[in-house]
């Protein structure tokens, strides 16, 4: 699959965004990971012990407002510091949210298939060794939706959108092009390992199941030069996975 060749532009004098090296990468992913840890190991357990609200709903509220929303804000701040021109060209050239062509869709579909096989195999093996709940965080465990509980799906939908768009806007749209300036062809690997480290609070077993996603997705985004591929893959994995869990199929 040949990469897209459209240039990345931030202003009239530069065709490349500023580099984001190892220090900046660690700061960004590390800070976000610490915030995720505070939410999953601090805020959610504390609120669940003091209220009658289900942990899954607390996850929607705390992560949506306290993590993924701020990721969007961080991305905007980073772009403002680059002094970019805001408009359609920013989305197409700097952030690389370009119209998907046939090759992009093929990459997204193949990526989804590869991740599904690798992640599904690891989940099956880990559950056979450590039990059915081994690869599911406690805050994602809830009784399957039934009549009178379909509101959980309605509450999840806006969270799902903020989750996908917040991460892909920052990690692939804003950060990855800057890592490409610093690391060249290895940028996808740096991006993927940083994204994996961001999820450390989920525990080692879940990290094993997430590794195919965190590595394949940024590779394809960099290879094709299109951030929409990350959105399609991320949404195509998280959406059906949650619906399966919600109906007791996951």
pLDDT for 34-64, tens place per residue? 999 999 999 999 999 999 888 999 999 999 9
Over range 4-15, report the average pLDDT: 42
Nearest alpha carbon to residue 232 among 68, 94, 106: 106
9, pLDDT greater than 50: no
Task: Give φ, ψ of 202 to 5 degrees.
Answer: -75, -15
In a domain, 186, yes or no: yes
* pTM of the complete model: 0.89
Number of domains, the chain = 1
In a domain, 225, yes or no: yes
Go through 25-61 and write b for each residue having 16 or more CB atoms within 10 A of its CB, e for each that does not.
beebbeebbebbeebbeebbeeebeeeeebbbbbbbb
Q: Which residue has the higher pLDDT, 215 or 12?
A: 215
Q: How confident is the model at residue 15 (pLDDT cuts 50, 70, 90)?
A: low
Percentage with pLDDT > 70 across the chain: 94
Percentage with pLDDT > 90 across the chain: 73
In a domain, 4, yes or no: no
In a domain, 90, yes or no: no
**Residue range of the domain that includes 193:** 22-83+101-246
In a domain, 13, yes or no: no
In a domain, 173, yes or no: yes
């Amino acid at each position: 699959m040949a990469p897209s060749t459209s240039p990345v532009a931030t202003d009239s004098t530069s065709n490349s965004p500023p580099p984001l090296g190892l220090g900046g990468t660690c700061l960004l992913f590390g800070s976000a990971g610490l915030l995720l840890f505070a939410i999953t190991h601090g805020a959610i357990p504390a609120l669940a012990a003091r209220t009658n609200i289900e942990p899954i709903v607390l996850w929607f509220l705390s992560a949506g407002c306290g993590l993924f929303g701020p990721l969007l804000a961080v991305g905007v701040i980073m772009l403002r510091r680059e002094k970019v021109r805001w408009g359609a060209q920013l989305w197409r050239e700097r952030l690389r949210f370009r119209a998907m062509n046939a090759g992009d869709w093929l990459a997204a579909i193949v990526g989804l298939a590869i991740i599904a096989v690798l992640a599904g195999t690891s989940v099956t093996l880990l559950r056979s060794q450590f039990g059915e709940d081994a690869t599911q965080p406690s805050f994602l465990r809830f009784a399957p939706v039934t009549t009178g509980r379909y509101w959980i799906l309605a509450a999840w939908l806006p969270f799902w959108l903020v989750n996908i768009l917040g991460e892909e806007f920052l990690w692939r749209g804003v950060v990855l092009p800057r890592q490409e300036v610093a690391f060249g062809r290895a940028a996808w690997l740096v991006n993927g390992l940083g994204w994996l480290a961001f999820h450390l609070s989920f525990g080692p077993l879940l990290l094993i199941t997430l590794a195919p996603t965190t590595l394949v997705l940024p590779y394809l985004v960099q290879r094709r030069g299109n951030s929409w591929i990350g959105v399609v893959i991320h949404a195509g994995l998280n959406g059906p996975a949650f619906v399966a869990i919600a109906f007791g199929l996951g």
